A and B are shown apart, each in its own frame.
Chain A
Amino acid sequence: MEDNNKNSRRKFLDKGLKLGLATAIGGMAISKISKLSAKSNTGTGEFVELMTTDGTLIQVDSSEIVEVVHTTDPDKKYNVREGKPNRKYVMVIDLAKCKNALKCQTACNKHHYITGEHAWLKVYQMQEDEDTAPYWMPTTCMHCDHPACVTVCPVDATFKRRDGLVLIDNERCIGCRFCMAACPYSTRVFNWSEPNQGDMTMDMEMDMKAEGSCHSSPEFAGLPSVIGTVDKCDFCPHSIDKGELPHCVTACPNGVFYFGDKYEDTVTNGDETVRLSKLLRDKSGYRLMEGLGTKPSVYYLPPVNRLVDFEEGLEYFTEFKSVENPEKS
């Protein structure tokens, strides 16, 4: 009797183990398969005729074609942590023209796939004292020359490049948020939860391919955002490499943002191109919180001779919101 019991127990255990093993393997297989299918590039099936350099025509699937711009510097090979020499990116923000249209914020949010509740580019409603004038002040990361954030990072996840940009490597960041505590401009943002960029991964891949890279890099912040790490404005090096201005600069309908290379002494807002030194001298440019010694790369032009009243910007002012969240699926 005992033997029978033992045998039946053994058989039960045996079957149970086999079933469990099969389930486990099956489960793993299913998850691997679903990962694969999610990533697989669906070829469009459309073929394109291309002429090779020796004049022959070939057929290539259109999904495998990467757009390459011919007229800019072909030598893109530089260390992402180093940047190009003999350049120093600066931005000039003309507070006299800002009407709080928030097109800059929308463009930045869109192109960096920002899904949290905190935009990287914020337009502040500023008023130093009741007697002084209120004005709208867009702020980006200042890409300081004496960056407090870079100094305190324990693992070199945020770094300062030759060309002046301060970028974040979100594969290195340990999420201690010391840089966020250090930044006096409150410009950094933390991914407290899984950033719901899921729907946008396909678009992201297309954007990355357009840059010629197949993986995420500090030069394209937010693609993707990683949970438990810090993000911030990157001055769009991915656009700069294409010879294009950062998205906020092109999006602004009022020409508020000027961007350029300080060593070339030239900045442009897309329409006007001016000498930086002349602009700062004529319009009395200054930097935010100069006294802290951070040496920011963003200059402000004071809000004088404004074309539009401050109050008109109140229409778009959202005190508690800076990101239009995509529809939750």
Chain B
Amino acid sequence: MKNYDTLLNDLAPQKFGRKGVIWTTLLVVVSIAGIIAYIDQVIQGQVVTNMSDYALWGVYISNFVFFVATSFVSTITVAVLRLTKNAWRTPIVRIAEIISVAAIIMAGLTIMIDMGRPDRLLYLFIYGRMQSPIIWDVIIIPTFMAIALLLLYFPLLPDFALLKKHFKNTKPKLSKWYGLLSLNWTGSDAQKSIHIKSIHLISLLIIPAGFMLQTVDAWLFSTLFRVGWDSTNMGAYFISGAAVAGIGALITVLYVIRRSYNLENYITDFHFDKLGKFLALTCLIYLYFNINEYLIPEFTSKKEEITHLNVLVTGEYAPLFWFVIVGGLVIPIIVLFFKKGRSPLAIFWVSILVVLGSWWKRYLIVTPTLLHPFLPIQGVPEAWRHYFPSLHEWLITAATLAMCLLIITILVRYLPVIPIQRTADEQEQLKTGKNLES
């Protein structure tokens, strides 16, 4: 194996400094607070939330949809960029895969929080009915999780082998773990051929898997009669929304990691520029779907549609709606059009807006529709005509987000955030001018 000292010094996982420890502690505290709130919910029942028979799905479901959407990032960046031969993706793929894995794991956990009887979880598997969209979801989420994990793991094999050697003297125990995980990787031709074929296969597989995941998630809503959900748009709408959320999350995490680990040489302004253009493109596509979803129904002005639209555009949810559309989509598009807008710091703030916009967008998809059913809301307490998450819901939601970040943090702590072997190969390729990989 060649000597990759500089690379390893730059990219090998390092111990957390003070900031890292504070960050991790904070995440753990928030997670524990949420777990306590959840235990209280299990004991008292979901009456601790502000959900009612009308707002029967609230922030738990919108949070779940957000996680599913964010997990799309590995499909859209790793696989799609690979198939379109965008070689610049190398430094960002590891982080994208990490975010994908963390998000899909949290998606699986978050949906269980919304169940009224989590003790009957196994019934989904024993008594499942294939006619139900929830069962399609139950199938696709573990499937995607397996593929995302494989997509993360395969390219790690050569890196683990390198790290084993790197830490052999300084941290023997850690080195042993890396050794185990590297599965005796030696870089032999036999291993490499299996490796390359497998990665190619996973990249191909995760594209339909990712598309199916987003589509099935969309079908949870569009298979129902409700106004705002009963849309033929839903599948494509969710896919494009997931692309926006995924890339926004990726850029945010990328910037933070670049700053913390001083990786300016690897994740350059060029990468942010490219990602900025990609984000602008996905935002434009998503904006197009939003126009179809929210503007065109005004044309026929069907009573039920107009009730729904008015609530969003001028009514109770107007501030949130305009924040999501303008702040979460229009402003990012405008800013990203300019070269200066795609500089790392600028794009970081734009991405934060995009992620916030994405999270609140899912909130707008789930709850307002439920609050104007076909029959008038009568015979129930006045509070049931509104919904805003309760303290329990906020604590639990914050905890799920914290846990997602915690998973990312732990993975970043122990995995090389930029593929070492691949970077080395590419550097060599540049030097010798040979074409090593497609």
Contact = CB atoms under 8 A, between A and B. Distances in A.
A–B interface present (Cβ within 8 A): yes
Contact of B116 (A229, A318, A320, A322): A229
B132 A119 contact: no
A320 B135 contact: no
B299 interface: no
A228 B117 CA distance: 5
A212 interface: no
B128 A155 contact: yes
Contacts of B124: 154-155, 174
A194 B117 CA distance: 12
A227 interface: yes
Interface in A104-143: 117-119, 122-126, 139
Interface string B362-398: 0000000010011111111110000000000000000
Contacts of A153: 129, 132
A119 to B, nearest CB: 6
Contacts of B132: 151-154, 178
Interface stretch (A2-10, A182-190, A258-266): A182-190
Contacts of A155: 120, 123-124, 127-129
Nearest to A186: B373
A314 B311 CA distance: 28
Contacts, number: 139
A173 B380 contact: no
A319 interface: yes
B116 A173 contact: yes
Contacts of B117: 173-175, 228-229
A193 interface: yes
B115 interface: yes
B129 A193 contact: no
A238 B263 CA distance: 72
A292 to B, nearest CB: 6
Q: Per DSSP, are chain B's interface residues mostly helix, strand or loop, or mixed?
A: loop
A275 interface: no
A180 B49 CA distance: 17
A186 B123 contact: no
A156 B135 CA distance: 11
B113 to A, nearest CB: 11
A88 interface: no
Contacts of A319: 378-379
A191 interface: yes
A116 to B, nearest CB: 9
A192 B47 CA distance: 5
A313 to B, nearest CB: 13
B376 A190 contact: no
Interface string B291-310: 00000000000000000000
Most A CB contacts (10 A, CB to CB) among B51, B52, B117, B133 go to: B117
Contact of B379 (A182, A190, A292, A322): A322
Interface in B33-61: 44-47, 49, 51-54, 56-57
A320 B381 CA distance: 5
Given A175-B116, A228-B116, A181 B226 contact: yes
A320 B380 contact: yes
Contacts of A152: 131-134, 223-224
A294 to B, nearest CB: 8
9 contacts: A124-B378, A152-B131, A152-B133, A152-B224, A172-B123, A184-B374, A191-B45, A227-B45, A319-B378
Given A181-B56, A321-B381, 10 more contacts: A117-B380, A124-B378, A139-B375, A152-B223, A154-B128, A155-B120, A173-B117, A174-B115, A177-B57, A178-B132
